[in-house]
Amino acid sequence: MNAKTSILPSAEPFFYPGPKNIGILLTHGFTGTPKEMRWMGDYLNRQGYPCLGVRLAGHATCPADMIRTTYEDWLNSVEDGYHLLRGTCKQVILVGLSMGGALSLISSTRLPVDGIVAMATPYDLPQDWRLEHTEFLSKFLRYLPKSKDAPGAGWFDKAAWHEHISYPQNPLRSIGELKKMLALLRESLPQVTAPTLLIYSQDDTYLPLGSLNSLGYIYSHLGATRKEKLVLSGSGHVIPRDAQRETAFEAAAKFIHSLAE
């Protein structure tokens, strides 16, 4: 096998079958891997739900693979997972972290889904002239650092951080794709009609325009008549891996259970 395209150990996609007729599609974040969602998949599967953790195109291998992908490729990865689940389940719930939450919200306007749980989802990137020219600039500068903070500074569960797997830097061209995808998200929010639960942490310092700003914008622009929000404290950006994950899991399970036909 070509090492350049092999999936990183423990970062593989996963599927847990279950007896219930509601399938849960779990989508990880930008530069992340399905491992971010595995503990949540474990928890929801113990409640009886079939759970599928997808691997977004270009992720969980090497950063060069991500550079070659577009946001439509990422949306197609979610759609592939949806159809796999839909073949065995009557209902499908989309659950996503960060960019995975944005992909889930957008996908709900393209596919018949029964609910959405979006965690730590951004609504935009900061104003920066470089973001308008990422495809050109990426010919000279391939990667940008993720943060000015020390590695792991935003995590509350340090043991979980040490086991976390993601690309160490952000591919610049992919940041441009993320910007385009978030523009589509903002356009799509009024068309999101499926019941939606938004989960954020007030201590998330990674979201570029602030955690509560992101929550407020997305919540206020959702077209769904049923929309709920949960604000955690004592968690960083990667909510389903950090210290308050169990609280998030319980809230998601309660919300999903309420959607059962």
- Specify the CATH number for the domain of residue 216: 3.40.50.1820
In a domain, 3, yes or no: no
In a domain, 1, yes or no: no
| Integer Cα distance of 136 and 181 in angstroms | 18
pLDDT at 216: 97
| 146-160 pLDDT tens trace | 777 777 889 999 999
**What would the mean pLDDT of 192-219 be, rounded to a whole number?**
96
Residues in the chain: 261
Is the pLDDT at 141 greater than 90? The verdict is: no
Is the pLDDT at 63 greater than 70? The verdict is: yes
| 9-40 pLDDT tens trace | 999 999 999 999 999 999 999 999 999 999 99
**What would the mean pLDDT of 226-244 be, rounded to a whole number?**
97
Closest CA to 41 of 95, 92, 90, 84: 95
In a domain, 30, yes or no: yes
| 64-107 pLDDT tens trace | 999 999 999 999 999 999 999 998 999 999 999 999 999 999 99
Place of tokens 């977004």: 56
**118 vs 88, higher pLDDT:** 118
pLDDT at 134: 67
Q: For the chain, first and last CA: distance in Å?
A: 45
pLDDT at 127: 74
In a domain, 2, yes or no: no
In a domain, 161, yes or no: yes
pLDDT at 5: 53
Domain that holds residue 210: 9-258
In a domain, 231, yes or no: yes
In a domain, 253, yes or no: yes
**102 vs 170, higher pLDDT:** 102
Is the pLDDT at 4 greater than 70? The verdict is: no
In a domain, 23, yes or no: yes
| Integer Cα distance of 55 and 63 in angstroms | 14
| Integer Cα distance of 99 and 113 in angstroms | 18
Closest CA to 211 of 103, 98, 130: 98
pLDDT class of 170 with cuts at 50, 70, 90: confident
Per the structure, how many domains does the chain have?
1
Contact 50, 23 (CB under 8 A): yes
For 109, the token pair is 């306007």
**What would the mean pLDDT of 40-51 be, rounded to a whole number?**
98
Is the pLDDT at 1 greater than 50? The verdict is: no
Name the region of 234 (left: φ>0; alpha: ψ -120 to 50; beta: rest): left
For 45, the token pair is 């599967």
**191 vs 141, higher pLDDT:** 191
| 207-225 pLDDT tens trace | 989 999 999 999 999 999 9
**What would the mean pLDDT of 33-59 be, rounded to a whole number?**
98
Name the region of 159 (left: φ>0; alpha: ψ -120 to 50; beta: rest): alpha
